A and B are shown apart, each in its own frame.
Chain A
Amino acid sequence: MTTTIDNPVMRPVTTVPVPTATYLTPDGQLVSSVPVGASYADDHTHLEWGDPLVPGAVVLDEQVAPRASWSGVVRAGQVLTIVDVGGNQSGDCLLYNAQHTDERYSAPDTLAWQDNAYIRTGTVLRSNLGRALMTVVDNEIDRQDTIGGACSRESNTLRYGHHVMYHHGCRENFLTEGAKHGLGMRDIVSNINWFMNVPIEDDGALGIVDGMSAPGKRVALRAEIDTLVLISNCPQMNNPCNDFNPTPLRMIVSEPDTDLEYEADA
């Protein structure tokens, strides 16, 4: 610039060294100063990778790394098996009509139609238009949660304190994954938490407690229409939604050999 303006001497700021750590990458190792949250240790965590819960030809089989996001379209009639590989790993999940994403999963419609607060085998996962998106055709957990919502940077500061603002959270994962499909903040609604335990006690007390799942436990969802599935493999470090030990998930989509027992009543 040709101009000169007042440039007062500013207080020197305290200087500190930048800590670095070494992280595994697909290509090897990377030295980075980014504070990445804890994840499971291979040699201390029992993993069960499981199999599809219904017989049929596998058309997609992918692993979701701890703390990561995932998305995929399950075509009408196909079945998505989600495997809780490390046990008690919350798979935060949102569903959308793959053709018209304004139609998306609705927790209240799902619960009101079935007159029950928990998701179990036979639960029809309904949209905000009351239509069936997917049906739970098999499930190895006593009950699955759709009340507890997703963790976020912002709500974590309410629950634990402002010191956790830079912890990773599920809403961050939903934003990252949703952006790949043209979805933004207003598209993130109340979600499902596969393998997470949120009891509602007699006096109304409600919260995330130790899970009822175990390594290799599964849930199977049949798509009633082409359904876009978003997953956040919950990176939470402050509550038991993942046993304080983020582990992988496995997502398997198959074409079932036979008609499944539970028919959507849409």
Chain B
Amino acid sequence: MALAADHSTDTVLNARADARAQGGQVSDWMPYLPASSSPFCPEDVAADSLTWAETVAPGGYTHKVLARGTRFRLEDPTGEACAHTLLYNALEPTERLNVADTQKIPWQAYLGAGHPLLSGDGRVLATILTDTSGRHDAFCGTSTAAWNALRYGTALPEGPAPAGRDLFVKAAAKHGLGPADVPPSVSFFQGVRVAGDGSFDWFGSSGAGTAVELVAELPLIVLIANVPHPRDPRPEYVVGPLRVHAWRTPETNPTTPADERFDASPEVRRAYLNTLDYAEARGL
């Protein structure tokens, strides 16, 4: 039913008053500004160090440029979130997440604490520091409109079953990037495992209240699309809200040789060396 009866918008001044009267409301999904005002500030984080605080809507997307050394935490308050994630070097976005290297270089297919998210240029874009979910995926990427049309009968970005790729295209556009700049992504909070015959076993979520925390090893463009995993077997399009917090303090540094994870493996050590070399040369 039309809402026009609830509004008086016949003149410019009335329309202005009507618009201004809508201020100050809250929504279940919104950014919190300033970030320090977040109603969901992590307990172990000082509110005044927050640089990003947001609840991403089911089927929504968000994006942010983060300074090098920023910590960012993704939380799944319902056990239904699925945070499809792309990372780019904010200074040179042709450097971006490379899922193949992210699995191959560490000799490990499944994302978890300590796993580096690598670019195709031999550097670490971000490192997963902590993980209480253990259900993530770097094989299946995100959904496309063709896939969602097949699975749900509809895939319009403005509709009830938006595809992750279509949300990434819009998020990328807001950083001057086009559809060709949307590579394969990783997803957090809904897992698959590869069976012996190669088939994907659906593990799904490990429940409500899990989180992953990452550190930005370079200045990052972060794109997140919160949509169901493409292998989610349910006929319904179910995805829960996603909480995002980022913060910076004198202690939140990118990985250095002083960190145990720097020497986790010879491959990752060289990746961190490459990253530090790049940062040093650029004066970061």
A positions within 8 Å CB-CB of B: 1-8, 10-18, 20-21, 23, 25-28, 30-38, 40-41, 44-45, 67-69, 157, 159-166, 168, 172-173, 175-176, 179, 182, 184-186, 199, 201, 205-210, 235, 237-240, 243-245
Contact = CB atoms under 8 A, between A and B. Distances in A.
Contacts of A244: 2-4, 6-7
Contacts of A201: 12
Contact of A240 (B4, B58, B208): B4
22 contacts: A1-B114, A2-B264, A3-B265, A13-B75, A13-B211, A15-B77, A20-B238, A25-B159, A30-B154, A30-B160, A30-B237, A32-B152, A41-B1, A44-B1, A161-B25, A162-B32, A163-B25, A164-B30, A186-B176, A205-B12, A210-B9, A235-B158
A166 B27 contact: yes
A28 B153 contact: yes
B23 interface: yes
Chain B contact residues: helix, strand, loop or mixed: loop
B15 A208 contact: yes
A1 B109 CA distance: 9
B77 A245 contact: no
Interface string B246-268: 00000000000000110011000
A38 B78 contact: no
A244 B154 CA distance: 25
A6 B260 CA distance: 9
Contacts of B58: 18, 33-35
Contacts of A32: 59, 152, 160-161, 236-238
B233 interface: no
B264 A35 contact: no
Given A18-B238, A25-B153, A30-B152, A5 B265 contact: no
B146 to A, nearest CB: 14
Contacts of A5: 113-114, 129, 260-261, 264
Contacts of A164: 22, 27, 30
Contacts of A3: 114, 260-261, 264-265
User: Which 10 A/B pairs are nearest by Cβ-Cβ distance?
Assistant: A34-B59, A32-B160, A27-B153, A3-B264, A15-B208, A244-B3, A163-B27, A245-B2, A23-B160, A166-B57
Contacts of B260: 3, 5
A247 B33 CA distance: 33
A183 B29 CA distance: 29
Contacts of A240: 4, 7, 9, 15
Interface in B221-278: 235-241, 243, 260-261, 264-265
Interface of B: 1-4, 6-7, 9-16, 18-19, 22-27, 29-33, 40, 42-44, 56-60, 73, 75-80, 106, 108, 112-115, 129-132, 152-154, 156-162, 166, 169-170, 173-174, 176-179, 208-209, 211, 213, 235-241, 243, 260-261, 264-265
A18 B240 contact: yes
Contacts of B10: 209-210
A15 B236 contact: no
Contacts of A36: 158-160
A35 B57 contact: yes
A202 to B, nearest CB: 11
A176 B170 CA distance: 7
A17 B238 CA distance: 11
A244 B5 CA distance: 9
Nearest to A69: B158
Interface centre among B24, B59, B173 (most CB of A within 10 A): B173
B158 A67 contact: yes
Nearest to A17: B78
Contact of B30 (A26, A28, A163): A163
B173 A185 contact: yes
B169 A179 contact: yes
A26 B233 CA distance: 21
B4 A245 contact: yes
B153 A163 contact: no
A5 B108 CA distance: 16
Contact of B209 (A12, A23, A40): A12
Interface centre among B23, B30, B159 (most CB of A within 10 A): B159
Given A5-B114, A207-B12, A11 B78 contact: no
